[in-house]
Structure 1
Amino acid sequence: MRLLTRLRALVADDWPVWRALRLAALADAPHAFGSPLADWQGPGDTVRRWRARLETVAVNIVADLDGQPAGMISGDRTGVDTVELMSLWVAPAARGRGVGDLLVAAVVAWAEQAGADKAMLRVHPSNHHAILLYQRSGFTRTSGADTVPDDDRPEWVMQRPLAARRIRPGGQ
């Protein structure tokens, strides 16, 4: 029997889950991330660093499929009205089962609740599957292939407007 996908936001004490997924992601798809696997292994593989990653990025979500962690995504503010989606990865066994769509939707919902006007992300032009996922989720390309400091590979910037649910003073 197939269990439903369950999404959960992680806290610093969940660092072992984040660590396992992040290392798997960097090993599986090194081309999709800004940092190589080697940066997170050896001397870089410390509890303090993993906890700090979860404490300094606003939202970190894991998807459990059939009771096992199957994907991850993060979101963080990059300005007053903008949230950036980052670190999206879905385990090979969970691909094609809607996990990526659910993860993106979860960060978009968080961003709207937080009052952001737009969500943005960076993606390598060769990452066709991710681009299709982002397009399905309402993202459009806003720039040509730009290079990012510390990474000589070009990236596209994609964004989508959000229906921000601003909470007014007094709860109205």
Structure 2
Amino acid sequence: MVGAVVELVEVGPDDWRLWRELRHKALGEASYAFKSTLAEWQGDGDREQRWRDRLAIPGSYNLVGVVDGRPVGMASGYPEDDPEVVWLHSMWVDPAARGVGVGDRLIAAIVEWAAKSGARKMMLGVVEGNTNAEALYVRQGFAYTGEVNGMMPDGVRRDLAMARTLNA
């Protein structure tokens, strides 16, 4: 994949099957990195409407990274409580596609979208000890805020807040 061309595709509710496939892969491969678990999104939770609703969150921007015609990454941005703050969610890149710029492209596109939408700050959570994700986020201009977003499902590790200022 060296020298790979990364294509970004915006997805919405009608793309729920693709999003589900990537999210299942993400939660299976990197369960240590997410507050949600694969079990929560499978079984009774694996309903079409739930996936459509996830991709229809008001004000959201959902992207899939594609390399050589294969979906290899995902990320979302959406406001939560404060309209001037956008959160980066569901960030994941397939291990086979890491190191070729998929993560950087996904984050840069969401940052650009957020700034154009009027947000002044982007927030995210990263699990303490996830040094690869931390390096990606720092490279994209994020820094730790000192806040803790909560505990991970294992009850041991914390989800640490990172933020960056957005330029309009």
TM-score (norm 1): 0.90
Identical amino acids, percent of aligned pairs: 46
Tell me what 2:90 maps to: 87
Distance in 1 (CA, whole Å) between partners of 2:110 and 2:64 is 11
Q: Which amino acid aligns with 2:18?
A: V
Per-residue CA distance 1:103-127 (angstroms, 9 max, x = gap):
1101100100101111110101111
| 1:3, distance to aligned residue in structure 2 (A) | 5.3
The answer as to 2:141 corresponding to 1:154 is no
Q: Which amino acid aligns with 1:22?
A: R
Tell me what 1:5 maps to: 6
5+ residue gaps in structure 2?
A: none
The answer as to 2:40 corresponding to 1:36 is no
Per-residue CA distance 1:42-72 (angstroms, 9 max, x = gap):
1111111111110116111000011010100
Tell me what 1:170 maps to: none
Moved over 4 A (4+): none
Q: Please, which of 112, 120, 124 is the counterpart of residue 123 of structure 2?
A: 120
| 1:80, distance to aligned residue in structure 2 (A) | 2.1
More moved, 123-132 vs 149-158: 149-158
> 1:3·1:67 contact (CA, 8 Å) conserved in 2?
no
TM-score (norm 2): 0.92
- Which structure is larger by alpha-carbon Rg, 1 or 2? 1
Q: Please, which of 66, 75, 78 is the counterpart of residue 76 of structure 1?
A: 78
Q: How many residues get paired?
A: 163
The answer as to 2:46 corresponding to 1:51 is no
Question: Alignment partner of 1:21: what SS?
Answer: helix
Distance in 2 (CA, whole Å) between partners of 1:117 and 1:63 is 25
Q: Please, which of 125, 128, 142 is the counterpart of residue 145 of structure 2?
A: 142
Q: Which amino acid aligns with 2:89?
A: M
> 2:152·2:159 contact (CA, 8 Å) conserved in 1?
no
Report the RMSD for the aligned CA atoms in angstroms.
1.7
Question: Alignment partner of 1:126: what SS?
Answer: coil
The answer as to 2:96 corresponding to 1:111 is no
